[in-house]
Amino acid sequence: MKKVLLSLFLAISVLSLSALDIRDGLVRLRIDELNGRVILYRMTNVSGSQYEPLVFDGDPRTSTLMVSIDGRKAKLGDSSEYKFSIRRTSSGAEIEYSSVVATITEKISFIKSLDSRVSNGFKIEYVIKNLSTREYKVMLRRIWDTRLGEPKGRHFCSNLSDKIEEEQAFTAESPESFIMTPGETASMAVLLAKVPRPDTVVIANWKRLSDAAWMYSTYMKGFSMAPYSLNDSAIGFFWNERILKAGASVVFSSYLVTGGPWTDFRDTLINGSYGVNEDLQAVQQTEQPGIAKKTPRLDIDAIKQLLELLDTAIDNVDAVSESDISILMSQVDDLVNAYQPTK
């Protein structure tokens, strides 16, 4: 009986791992439908079959989005206060987090740099709308768990330095025009000039940055925190406090452009080819074998509830009856059949 329960648990777990996967030009994005987390990629071969993750993809939850409303902080995707939905757009995808007081929409669009004929970067906007009947103060923090520079110990570079060895912050007054996470086959740069940008960009050890209540400012040398987080970097985007009137909205933006090996990409950016073309290309859905172009949205709450029931049944297998098994199997079948692709 335990084998039957484990098989059911595996079946529904595989279904729950579904993700929205979109590719355009040289770049790609995947959104986990269970928690709304985003992974960004860059193509690394001519045939288009290989992609390098630009941020850590082993656990998408290490890259986080947090909102603060009148000092009340919520980690979006984890907070039960905010329900989320995912949808495809003509230029990429959107994740909308909704509560009784606000909606926060993360809009990810594919973009082209001025020297590229195809999409090679991302414009990411965060639209916050006040749904309450009063004004409040709002702030936003986005942390990307970077990984490209970690194997070589060259975590970040910029137009002014080919190796940044200390944690630091970059504001509108900083002279840097870009900060890059440099890789051997793919690299990603945060544009700090000529386009809208975060109020403050912080590069730091991932754990120190993630554990900070909000802004991280106790900068250290190196990107390790022994013994918990070694050779582990991250980049944080911070948008300062804004007063948002009832019914009003505010938009925060960031631009991420990708390239190949970091030395060549850095030279290209230094030479000035870091403007972006706002004429966004149409997005084509990634087609996987056996998956139709349009599939029903997963009922995430139903999946989570069923996984919890199966987990409880496995832990108490001796008390589970044949009738209980039949009911669970029926629920799994109903959920799987509801997700069958349309031809």
CA dihedral 18→24→25→31, nearest 10 degrees, is: -40
Q: Are residues 28 and 6 in the same domain?
A: no
The residue written with tokens 């050890």 in the block is 205
Q: Are residues 224 and 319 in the same domain?
A: no
Which pLDDT score, from 0 to 100, does residue 283 have? 30
Q: Are residues 6 and 41 in the same domain?
A: no
Are 328 and 313 contacting, i.e. CB atoms less than 8 angstroms apart? yes
Are 85 and 96 contacting, i.e. CB atoms less than 8 angstroms apart? yes
In angstroms, the CA 184 to CA 73 distance is 37
Q: Are residues 135 and 171 in the same domain?
A: yes
| Domain encompassing residue 235 | 22-285
CB atoms within 10 A of CB 261: 13
Q: Are residues 123 and 205 in the same domain?
A: yes
Which pLDDT score, from 0 to 100, does residue 113 have? 87
Residue 157 lies in a domain: yes
Residue 93 lies in a domain: yes
The total number of structural domains that make up the chain: 2
Q: Are residues 221 and 303 in the same domain?
A: no
In angstroms, the CA 189 to CA 181 distance is 6
Residue 220 lies in a domain: yes
Residue 43 lies in a domain: yes
Q: Are residues 7 and 32 in the same domain?
A: no
Q: What global pTM score does this model have?
A: 0.77
Which pLDDT score, from 0 to 100, does residue 114 have? 83
End-to-end alpha carbon distance in the chain: 35
* CATH classification of the domain holding 70: 2.70.98
The residue written with tokens 């440099």 in the block is 182
Per-residue tens of pLDDT for the chain, all 343 residues:
545 554 554 444 444 456 899 999 999 999 998 889 999 999 998 777 899 999 999 998 999 999 999 999 999 999 999 999 999 999 999 999 999 999 999 999 999 988 888 999 999 999 999 999 999 999 999 999 999 999 999 999 999 999 999 999 999 999 999 999 999 999 999 999 989 999 999 999 999 999 999 999 999 999 999 988 999 999 999 999 999 999 999 999 999 999 999 999 999 999 875 566 654 332 333 333 333 333 344 555 556 555 666 666 666 666 666 656 666 666 665 555 554 433 3
